[in-house]
Amino acid sequence: MAAGPPRSDGPSAGPVVKSEVDGLIAKAKADPTAVRTLRCRTVAQGRLRQLNYIRNLPPQDVMEVEPEGLSSEAVAPNASEALLAAFGSCLATGIHANALAQGLPIRSLELELEADINTSAVWGAGDLNPKTIGFESIRVLVKLDADTPRKIIEALVRHATLWSPVANTLHNPVHLDVTLA
């Protein structure tokens, strides 16, 4: 964590404070049917590199460098690594926000994510026998330091995983509608 471990013991101690989390909870309770449309514009840059534009944020760089060694310019995560980062970020946010809501101070939170992938058929060459394309499983190790009984921390992690939008997107079938302009 580049900015140091997140803390949840006061309004100025971390990026999110309890009052902000409480506000989000109240808003969700006021309109539980609210749906937001999230958007991303992906623009190919050549050499299998893409820039992803989300809201008014700086572009997010993703470079498809699979199989390894295809490009000597591995300056950005590949799409599968970006998916792991999205899941890790969502889960860490859920754990931290729920800890804040419950008044559980966290000294540090770190997630290690890993998944195995076979990309031999992705390029339409190599082993084209039927197989799983993409991850079959994602392993997550949660390292959480808090003065809270392990049983409560385990429940917190289970709850955050159960209600994680990215975890549910990965776990549940998602309809893809890809059309040509």
- The answer to whether 101 and 23 are in contact (CB under 8 A) is no
Distances (CA, A) of 15 to 6, 21, 28, 58, 87: 7, 11, 21, 19, 19
For residue 89, the 8-state DSSP code is H
At 74 the pLDDT is 66
> pTM, whole model, 2 decimals?
0.77
Q: What is residue 63's predicted lDDT score, i.e. its pLDDT?
A: 81
Phi then psi for residue 89, to 5 deg, are: -65, -45
**Six-digit token pair at 160?**
């955050």
Longest dimension (CA), the chain: 55
- With a cut of 70, list the residues of the chain below it in pLDDT: 1-16, 65-74, 121-128, 130
| Alpha-carbon distances of 103 from 7, 17, 147, rounded to whole Å | 11, 11, 11
pLDDT in tens, 52-85: 899 999 998 888 765 455 555 567 888 899 999 9
For residue 18, how many other CB atoms are within 10 A of its CB?
A: 17
